[in-house]
Amino acid sequence: MSDWRSYAVRLADQLRASGDLRSPAWHAAIAETPRHVLVPTVYQPPEEFYGAFTHTRLNTAEHLELIYSTTTLVTAVAPTKDGDVVGRSSSTKPDLMVRMLETLDIREGQRILEIGTGTGYNVALLAHRLGDDHIFSVDIDPELVSTARRRLARIGRHPHLAVGDGAQGWPAHAPYDRIIATCAVRRVPWSWYEQLTLGGQLLVDFKPHGGGNLVLLERKDDRLEGRFAARFAAFMAIRQPDNPDERPPTPWQPEFALTRQRTTTTPAEPAGAMLFLRAVMSSTQLRQRYAFDQQTRRPTAVRLAAADGSCCEVDLTPAGNGTWTVREGGPTPLWREIEHDYQQWCDWGRPGWDRIGITVTPETWAVWLDEPSNLLTRPPLPC
């Protein structure tokens, strides 16, 4: 693996060419950080939808192609109580990682708290730029932390690492100028506000109802406030003592036969920003699943279910003339609600993520369009 440097430089050049990386300091960090030392093995996802992960030691020259690429490398897996196997940790794809670092406008002299140490690769990038003493990172998994500490030491890095629930931050070393979370949250923990400097920023994948995106929040006097990133990104969910399996506590099952059929002009898969707004503004919360073709294992339809057992299914293949086929069952016409909310979103000019922002206070949070004063959620939602 002695020729890893040319691969790392090539990755840094590629990230600069794609526009994900802008500053020479992050170029140097990518070009000079040996990701292969921090990620020596990987769990490769199944090719088939129902297949198993394969555990591979990355010890051949060809593996350098994979390691120094814009690929997420899954590094820990665990069974869920449903019998599935899910990724529990990964080295985030470097293009996303560096985009987040650029978004946070990190500068020399700042102190950074990372939530989700994982392999330590992001910690290594941060320590390359700011020095070990300015970097603090916590992970809930003790084995990951001790492994990351050992491997970071092997490349000469000794940042501050701890085992803990990142939702609590790391109060002992606060305040921080930046907080970067590499796991998704359903609520923005108030401890992060408390541990940021005034004007400090935090970046996190915020998913209040399952759907969401990265949001960049600034600490103001009495609140956190900011907009979503224009580009979509997704992280694995934070594990919490009350939800160790990462699954949303909404096991709604369709209880009614799909007896009504019609067509709709609302796309089967509307934009993520529209679905986010719908989820926060509507009183009917929905659980989304896909129907799969038994032969090809490809998704064929979107399925929605509500708490009252009402359900609907919309074919992913258009029925022609800009329409899709909808089948519904139960007392609540679910797709009617989506059509209504989709029309509302069109009337607002089809806002993408970057026109949507949130304001977080200790007890509430609210969603706004374009400006914090243009609140869409009245009254604000409880945290």
Ligand X SMILES: C[S@@+](CC[C@H](N)C(=O)[O-])C[C@H]1O[C@@H](n2cnc3c(N)ncnc32)[C@H](O)[C@@H]1O
Residue 235 near ligand X by CB under 6 A: yes
CB of 137 to ligand X, least distance (A): 8
**Neighbouring-strand partners of residue 113:** 136, 179
**Cα–Cα distance, 88 to 370 (Å, whole number):** 35
Looking at beta carbons only, is 53 or 292 nearer to ligand X?
53
CB of 86 to ligand X, least distance (A): 11
Looking at beta carbons only, is 165 or 308 nearer to ligand X?
165
Residue 90 near ligand X by CB under 6 A: yes
Cα–Cα distances in angstroms (integers) from residue 50 to residues 37, 42, 101, 235, in the given order: 31, 19, 35, 21
Residue 213 near ligand X by CB under 6 A: no
Residue 96 near ligand X by CB under 6 A: no
* Binding range to ligand X, per CB under 6 A, among 11-19, 165-173, 305-313, 358-366: 165-173
Residue 122 near ligand X by CB under 6 A: yes
Q: Which of 26, 43, 121, 324 binds ligand X (CB under 6 A)?
A: 121
**Cα–Cα distance, 234 to 246 (Å, whole number):** 14
CB of 284 to ligand X, least distance (A): 29
Residue 115 near ligand X by CB under 6 A: yes
- Residues near 314 by Cβ (< 8 Å), separated by ≥ 6? 264, 268, 301, 302, 324, 325, 326, 327, 335
Task: Determine how many CB atoms are found less than 10 A away from the CB of residue 343.
Answer: 12
The candidate with the shortest Cα–Cα distance to 132, out of 104, 162, 105, 153, is 153
Residue 33 near ligand X by CB under 6 A: no
**Cα–Cα distance, 38 to 51 (Å, whole number):** 27
Q: Which of 36, 67, 91, 161 binds ligand X (CB under 6 A)?
A: 91
Q: Please tell me the count of residues contacting ligand X according to CB under 6 A.
A: 26
Q: Which of 92, 110, 201, 310 binds ligand X (CB under 6 A)?
A: 92
* Binding range to ligand X, per CB under 6 A, among 29-37, 138-146, 264-272, 333-341: 138-146
Residue 159 near ligand X by CB under 6 A: no
* Binding range to ligand X, per CB under 6 A, among 3-11, 194-202, 210-218, 236-244: 236-244
Residue 321, class by beta-carbon neighbours within 10 Å (0-12 exposed, 13-18 middle, 19+ buried)?
Answer: exposed
Residue 169 near ligand X by CB under 6 A: no
Looking at beta carbons only, is 161 or 167 nearer to ligand X?
167
Report whether 210 contacts 142 (CB < 8 A).
no
Residue 129, class by beta-carbon neighbours within 10 Å (0-12 exposed, 13-18 middle, 19+ buried)?
Answer: buried
Looking at beta carbons only, is 185 or 268 nearer to ligand X?
185
Report whether 272 contacts 211 (CB < 8 A).
yes
Task: Determine how many CB atoms are found less than 10 A away from the CB of residue 324.
Answer: 21
CB of 113 to ligand X, least distance (A): 11
Q: Which of 12, 140, 312, 358 binds ligand X (CB under 6 A)?
A: 140
Q: Which of 157, 219, 227, 239 binds ligand X (CB under 6 A)?
A: 239
Residue 337 near ligand X by CB under 6 A: no
CB of 14 to ligand X, least distance (A): 18
Torsion of CA 138, 140, 142, 144, to 10 degrees: -70
**Cα–Cα distance, 282 to 265 (Å, whole number):** 20
Looking at beta carbons only, is 189 or 329 nearer to ligand X?
189
Question: What are the backbone angles phi and psi of residue 18, rounded to the nearest 5°?
Answer: -80, -10
H or E element at residue 115: strand 112-115
The 180-199 site mask, x for binding ligand X (CB under 6 A), equals: --xx----------------
Residue 141 near ligand X by CB under 6 A: yes
- Residues near 78 by Cβ (< 8 Å), separated by ≥ 6? 85, 86, 88
Binding site for ligand X (CB under 6 A): 88-92, 115-116, 118-119, 121-122, 138-141, 144, 165-167, 182-183, 235-236, 238-240
